[in-house]
Chain A
Amino acid sequence: MSEASPVLGVDVGGTNTDAVIMRGDEVIAAAKRPTTADVGEGLIAVVRAVLEAAQMSPASLATVMIGTTQFINAFVQRRDLTQVAAIRIALPKSDGIPPMVGWPDDLVQAVGRHGYLVGGGSFYDGREYAPLDTAALEQSARDARAKGIRALALTAGFAPVRPDIEQKAADIILNVHPEADITLSSEVGGLGLIDRENAALINASLRQLSRKVVTSLKDALGQLGVRAPIYFSQNDGTLVSTAYATRFPIVTCSAGPTNSIRGAAFLTGLQDAIVMDIGGTTTDLGFLVRGFPRETATAHLIGGVRTNFRMPDVLSIALGGGTHVRGSADHVVLGPDSVGFELTRRALVFGGKDLTTTDVAVRAGQASVGDPKRVASLDHNLTTAVLDRIHAQIEDAIDQMKTSSLPVPVILVGGGHILLSRPLRGTSEVHRPKHADVANAVGAAISMVSGRVDRMFDFAGGRERALEQAKEEARMAAVSAGAEPDSIEIVEMTELPMTHMRTTAVQVKVRAVGKLRVGAP
C-alpha cells in the first residue's frame, strides 16, 4: 500500500486560526496564528507556518478541510448580518404566528422585521390547499426590493413534501427582484414550518458574509499555491464543498465544537469522555459518547432562535484565555467580556494594558507565553483567588454535563488549557493530549463523508426489512459522496410514524458516515 497522502486541516476560530498536516493517523506538523479580521491573512500565515514545520510544498497537499466558527460567531454576536425579508407562502393558514415570533429583540433589530404572508401551500399528502398567490408574492418581492433588501428567506407550508412550490415562487420573485438572494426553506430544514423558516432566515442573513469569508479563504490558499480540493466541515463532522458552504453557511454553524470533540477523541483514543475546549472567549464542554458528540435531545437554539438542526450538546460558559480579570483578591470579577483575538496585543504579558486570565496563568507559573516580567508584580493573593474562581466555574460546568455521579475522564483541548493546573472535582483523570491546542484542526482533518436517507418507508413488509433497506441506501449515499466502503458506520437512525393517519408509512431518517476515500473528487 502506498503511503497516505498528506491532508491539511484548518480551524478558523474567533481568536486563532489553527492548522495541522496529517498523514493517515499521524499528525506531521501543527501551527497556530491569530485570526485576522479578513480571515485570509491569518490563514496564509498559519498555512505557511505549518508547511514549513512539515517541510512540505503547498502542491503536495492532497486535500484541504476547513472548519470555521465565523458564521455562528457572527450570528451570535449579531454582526455582519444583512437585513432579511421573510416571505411565507401559507395563507389562509398560519397567520396567528407571523415570522420571527419569539426571536431576541437585538436579533430582530439586526435582520429587521420584514415578514410577508402570501397565499399557497400544501397538505401533508401534497395536495395544494390554496393556489400560489402570484400577485401577492410579486408585491412582497417589490416591497423588499424597494427597501433595498436582497436576502430573502422563502418558506411554504409542507415544503419538504412539495419543494416545487418554493422553487416556482423563487422564479416569480427573481422576475421582479433580479438581485434577490433566496434561501428556500426546503433546502435547510425538515418538517416543522417555524423551525425550518428560522433556519432559512438565519442562512439568508449570513449569505453575504459566507460569500466574503469563503472567497477570502479560497483566494488565500490559491495565493499560497495550494491546488488540492477544499472542503468545509459541517455540523455532524462530515464534509461539504466550498460552493455548498457558501450557499448554506448554516450547516457549518456547530462544526467548531464537533471538530473539537472528534479531534480530542482521535488524539486520546478515548470513546467516552467530557471534552473541554478552552478558547479565548468561551469554554465549551461537550460529551463524547462512543466516539461521537452527544447531540441535544430537545430543539436546538442558534443564537436564541429555535431550528430543527440536531447539534452537539455543548455547554458554553464565558471563560477563556482572553477573559478580563477585574476586582481584588476579596472580590474577583471574571469577564464575561474577553479581549478575544486581540489577546496577543492587549494582554499584559504581550505588552498590552488589559489584565486577562492568561496573565494570571503566566504569573502563577502555569504557562510560559509572552513576557512573564510584565506580570511579576501581580498580587499573589489575587492570582490565587482568580485561579480558585476559574477552577470552581469549570467544575460546576463539568457537573452540569455529567449524567451520573461517577467520575468521568476529561480531555482538555484548546489554547486556554493553560488556565487549569489542579485536579478537577468529579473527574477520573484529566488528559492533555499532544496537539491538544489544535484539536479543532485535527477534527477538521479527520472529517468524514456522510450519506443520508430521509424519506417514507412502507413497514407493511416488516419493520426490520424496511430499516435494513434504509440503512443500505444511506451506505450507498455515503459511498457516492466519496466514503471508503469498509469504513462506513450507521450513526443515527430515527423512525417517525405519521400518527393519526391510517397508514403503514413511516418516515425514516438514517445517517451513515465513513472516511474520505483517498483521491475522491
Chain B
Amino acid sequence: MYTITSDLDVRDMARGAVLLGSGGGGDPYVGELYLRNQLAEGRGPKILKASELSDDAFVLSIAGVGAPTVIIEHLVSTHTLLRLLEASESFYGRKIDALISAEIGGVNSMFPLALGTRAGIPVVDADGMGRAFPHLEMTTFGVYGCAATPSVLMDDSGNVVHVHTTTNRIAEDVVRSVCASLGSMIFGSFYPMSGRQVKQLAVHDTVTHTLEIGRRIRTARESQLDPVRGVLEFLNAPAEGRYARELFNGRIVDVLHETRDGWHWGRVLIASGAGRDPEFRIEIQNEYLVARHNGRTVTIVPDLIAILDAESAEPLTAEMLAYGQRVRVIGYSAAPIMRRPESLKVFGPRLFGLDEDFRPVEELAAAG
C-alpha cells in the first residue's frame, strides 16, 4: 500500500488516465481537481495491491455515469459521494473495505480515488478493463462472472434508485435511462465483489500505470527528451505480456464527429506531410476503435490506441482532436486477460460493428 501525497502525482495520474482512455472515458480534469483539493486539505488516496486484500474483503466499484459535456458543468459533490457510500453500505449490509475503478481510462479512474480519499477507504490498484469502454457490461469483472448489480444510483438532488437486473447488458440500458431522466449525470456503485474475485478478475496495477505513464511523459518533457519514447519505454513490458509501438506521426487533415444513438462516432484522417494524401485513419466510437495505415489494420480494439500531441506528448481525447494538429499515434496491447476469447465476445471488434476479428497489435506490426 502507498499513499499519494503530491499534487504533481495527481496530475500525472490524470494524464496517464487520458492515455489509457484510448480517446474516450471523459477528461479526468474534474476528478483531478477534486483530488488536488483533498490533498490541499491534508488527505491523500491510499492505493492497495489486490494481493493485500483478504479473500473475504468487500470491494465496490464507484463510477460516474453520464455525458462528458455534462460533468464539466455539474462537477462533483462531496455530499453526494458520501451519501452514496452510506446508502451503499446500508443497501449491501456490509462495510466497504476497499473501492475499485471499473474503468481506469478517463474520468472514472478518479471517482473511486475521490471518495476513497474523502472517506478514508483504500483504493485497489486495478480496474475492470485497463482502458475505457462505453458500456457497463464491458469489464473483465462481468466477462468472468461478476454481476454489475445490485447497484445503487444517486444524483446530486438526493434521488436514489436501486437497480437489480438479470444481465449486465440490461443493467447498462437501465442505468443509462435512469441517467437520462436525472439530467445525464449520476453516480453509482457497481460490481460488488469479494477480495478473492478482485484478485482473479481484475486488470491489475492500472492505478500505478496511470501514475507511471503521466510521470514518464512529464519527466521526459522536463529533461528535453522525446516524451513519446519515454512513455513507450514504460508501456513495452514483455515480462507482463505487454507491447507498444509508435504507429504514425503526422498532421490531422480531417476530423468528423457525429452522434448516432447517443454515441460519439467519428473518424480522424492523418497525413505524414503537407500536400500528401491522408494515409492514416482512425475510427472512433467514443474511443479510438481501429487504426489503419494505408487501409491495413495496425491496431484494433480491445488493444489501445492513443493519440498524443506531437511536441508535448499530452494524450488527446477524441473531443480534443482538431484540424491541423501535429500528432503521434501509439498502439498498445491490452492486458492478456482482455484478449481471451471470452473477453472478445463482450468487447471484441464485432461488438462495435467492425467487420473483422481481433488481431494483436504485435502480430499486426510483424505482418507489416
Contact = CB atoms under 8 A, between A and B. Distances in A.
State whether these chains interact: yes
Interface of A: 90, 92-98, 101-102, 123-124, 127, 129-130, 157-158, 191-194, 289, 294, 297-299, 396, 400-401, 403, 459, 463, 493-504, 506
A97 B72 CA distance: 11
Contact of A298 (B72, B157, B255, B309): B309
A102 B36 contact: yes
Interface in B215-251: 224, 251
A500 B326 contact: no
Given A499-B286, A501-B67, A193 B75 contact: yes
B36, B75, B311 pick with most chain A CB within 10 angstroms: B75
Contacts of B76: 94, 96-97
B73, B256, B324 pick with most chain A CB within 10 angstroms: B73
- Please list the 7 inter-chain residue pairs (A to B) with the smallest Cβ-Cβ separation, ordered nearest first: A94-B75, A500-B67, A499-B264, A497-B259, A502-B262, A123-B183, A403-B326
Contacts of A299: 29
Contacts of B255: 495
Contact of B72 (A127, A193, A400, A506): A193
Contacts of A101: 33, 36-37, 40
Interface in B281-336: 286, 309-312, 314, 316, 319-320, 322-326
Interface stretch (B77-85, B200-208, B346-354): B77-85
5 contacts: A92-B79, A95-B79, A101-B37, A158-B73, A403-B251
A235 to B, nearest CB: 17
Contacts of B183: 123-124, 127, 129
B74 interface: yes
Interface in B19-38: 29-30, 33-34, 36-37
B77 A95 contact: yes
A298 B310 CA distance: 12
B258 interface: yes
Nearest to A494: B322
A401 B326 CA distance: 11
Contacts, number: 143
B287 to A, nearest CB: 11
Given A497-B259, A501-B259, A502-B261, A124 B67 contact: yes
Contact of A297 (B68, B78, B262, B325): B325
Contacts of B66: 500
B310 A403 contact: yes
B184 A500 contact: yes
Contacts of B156: 92-93, 129
B37 A97 contact: yes
Contacts of A129: 156-157, 183
A64 to B, nearest CB: 33
Contact of A191 (B30, B72, B224): B72
A188 B153 CA distance: 35
B28 to A, nearest CB: 12
A96, A98, A123, A191 pick with most chain B CB within 10 angstroms: A96
B261 to A, nearest CB: 6
A94, A95, A97, A298 pick with most chain B CB within 10 angstroms: A97
A193 B257 contact: no
B69 interface: yes
Nearest to B40: A101
Indicate the size class of the contact surface on chain B: 35 or more
SS of A interface (majority): loop
B263 interface: yes
Contacts of A130: 157
B114 interface: yes
A93 B67 contact: no
B364 interface: no
Given A124-B70, A400-B224, A499-B259, 7 more contacts: A96-B34, A97-B76, A298-B312, A495-B257, A497-B259, A499-B263, A506-B258
A83 B357 CA distance: 60
B73 A191 contact: yes
A500 B263 contact: yes
Contacts of B29: 194, 299
Interface of B: 29-30, 33-34, 36-37, 40, 66-70, 72-81, 114, 118, 156-158, 176, 180, 183-184, 224, 251, 255-259, 261-264, 286, 309-312, 314, 316, 319-320, 322-326
Nearest to B7: A102
B68 A96 contact: no
A97 B33 contact: yes
B258 to A, nearest CB: 6
Nearest to A499: B264
Contacts of B251: 403
Contacts of A192: 72-73
Contacts of A127: 183
Given A500-B67, A500-B68, A98 B37 contact: yes
Contact of A90 (B36, B75, B264): B75
Contact of B320 (A96, A297, A401): A297
A400 B311 CA distance: 7
A158 B70 CA distance: 9
A463 to B, nearest CB: 7
Contact of B75 (A93, A191, A297): A93
B311 A403 contact: yes
B184 A504 contact: no
A498 B264 CA distance: 8
B262 A499 contact: yes
A497 B310 CA distance: 25
B67 A498 contact: yes
Given A95-B77, A101-B37, A499 B157 contact: no
Contacts of A90: 74-75
B284 to A, nearest CB: 11
A459 B258 contact: yes
A294 B252 CA distance: 14
A208 B118 CA distance: 39
B33, B68, B255 pick with most chain A CB within 10 angstroms: B33
Given A102-B33, A124-B67, A298-B320, A500 B74 contact: no
A158 B73 CA distance: 6
Contacts of A494: 322
Nearest to A290: B324
B77 A94 contact: yes
Nearest to A159: B73
A124 B72 CA distance: 11
Contacts of B320: 297-298
B34 A498 contact: no
Contacts of A499: 67-69, 259, 262-264, 286
Nearest to A459: B258
A466 B259 CA distance: 14
A196 to B, nearest CB: 9
A496 B257 contact: yes
Contacts of A95: 77-79
